[in-house]
Amino acid sequence: MAPQAFVPTGASPVRLNIPDLVAMAARIRCDIITMTHAAGEGHPGGSLSVADIITALYFRVMRIDPHRPDWPDRDRFILSKGHACPAWYAALIERGYLPREHLTTLRCLNSCLQGHPDMRKTPGIDFTAGSLGHGLSAGLGMALAGRLHQRDYRVWVVIGDGESQEGSIWEAAMAAPNLRLGRLTVIMDRNRIQNDDFVERIMPLEPVADKWRAFGWNVVEIDGHDMAQIVAALEAIDPAASQPTFILAHTIKGKGVGFMENEPAWHGRAPNDAEAAQALAEIRAAAGWEVPDVR
C-alpha cells in the first residue's frame, strides 16, 4: 500500500533525518513522473535532477509554515529554472501546502499548477518564473528587502547551468557580494544539459566554481544527489556572515530513471504510459520496492 503524504504540524524546519529525506526524494520523483505523465507534457529531466536539493530544503532546512504561506518571516525559495516546477510542486504537495488531488492537474486550464510557477496562483510560490536568468536578481532583492525591514529570513535560489548563459545571472552574481548579502544562497543544478544539447556544446561555463569565487562568493562543491552532502553544505552556511554562498551541485539530468539519465531528449518530453510505468518501477525499486511512509 502506498504511503500517505507528509502531514505538516506547524512552522518548520521539519528536520527529517537523512534516510527519511532520501525516501521523501523518492516520493517526489514518483510525483514528478505522475504529474508529467498525466499532463502529457512538461520537463521531467531537470525536475528529477533537482529533486534531492528541493527535498533537503523543504523537509530539513528552510523555515516555513504550510499553514501560513505568506508568513512574513518565512524563508524565501526561488526556482529560477522555472520549467523544473514539477519538483517544486511535488514538494509543496508533500509538505502540505496543497491537497494531493492537485498532483494530476499539472498544466491544466485553471489549475494552480501551471507549466511555470505563478505566485498569483499557487500557495508557497514566492516568485513567478519562466524567463530564464531572472530568479537570482529577484532573490537578491528579497535578501536586501529582508535587511531593510529588519527580518532575519533567508533566501534560497536554485539556478540552472544552461540558464547561467544569461547575462543577468552574472550581473546579480557581481552585485550580491558587494551588497554583503550573507543571507542569500544560490544553488546551481549542474546537470550539464539544456534544452537543445549538452551545455558545454552550446556555451561552455567552466571554470564555474572559480568564476563565482572570483566574484566574491563563498563557494562549496557537492554531489547534488548525496543527501548527506547536501544537508551538510546547507547547514554549514553561517547566516550571520556577510558573504553570500554559492553551492555548485553536480547532478544528473533525469536522475533516478535509467533511460532518462543524461539524455537531452528528456529535457522537455513527458513519458508515455509504458515509460511512466517503467520509471515508477525503477524509482520504487531503488527505494525498496515502495517508498516508505516518512511522516
Find the helix or strand (DSSP H, E) in which 249 lies: strand 245-250
Q: Which pLDDT score is estimated for 7? A: 43
- Mean pLDDT check: name the lowest of 82-86, 88-92, 128-132, 275-279: 128-132
Query: 10 Å Cβ neighbour count for 289?
Result: 9
Average pLDDT over residues 98-103: 93
**pLDDT at residue 111 greater than cutoff 70:** yes
Split at pLDDT 50, 70, 90, the class of 13 is low
Q: What is the pLDDT of residues 171-205, one digit of tens each?
A: 999 999 999 999 999 999 999 999 888 999 999 99
Q: What is the CATH number of domain 18-287?
A: 3.40.50.970
Q: Which pLDDT score is estimated for 290? A: 61
Kindly write down the DSSP assignment for every residue of 115-162, as one continuous string. Answer: SS--TTTSTT--S---STT-HHHHHHHHHHHHHHTT----EEEEEETT
Query: 10 Å Cβ neighbour count for 243?
Result: 17
Q: How far apart are alpha carbons 275 and 295 in whole angstroms?
A: 29
Q: Which pLDDT score is estimated for 292? A: 47
**Residues facing residue 12 across a β-bridge:** none
Of 116, 110, 40, residue with least CA distance to 85? 116
Q: How far apart are alpha carbons 147 and 295 in whole angstroms?
A: 35
**pLDDT at residue 243 greater than cutoff 70:** yes
Q: Which pLDDT score is estimated for 289? A: 54
pTM score above 0.75: yes
Q: Which pLDDT score is estimated for 14? A: 74
**β pairing state of 76-79 and 155-160:** parallel
Of 153, 162, 213, 209, residue with least CA distance to 183? 153
**pLDDT at residue 95 greater than cutoff 90:** yes
Q: Which residue has the higher pLDDT, 268 or 142?
A: 142
**pLDDT at residue 1 greater than cutoff 50:** no
What's the chain's average pLDDT? 92
Domain residue extents for the chain: 18-287
Q: Which residue has the higher pLDDT, 11 or 32?
A: 32
Say how far residue 249 (Cα) sits from the centre of its chain: 11
Find the helix or strand (DSSP H, E) in which 77 lies: strand 76-79
Residue 40 grid cell: 502529457
Average pLDDT over residues 95-112: 92
Average pLDDT over residues 73-82: 97
The answer to whether 77 and 57 are in contact (CB under 8 A) is yes
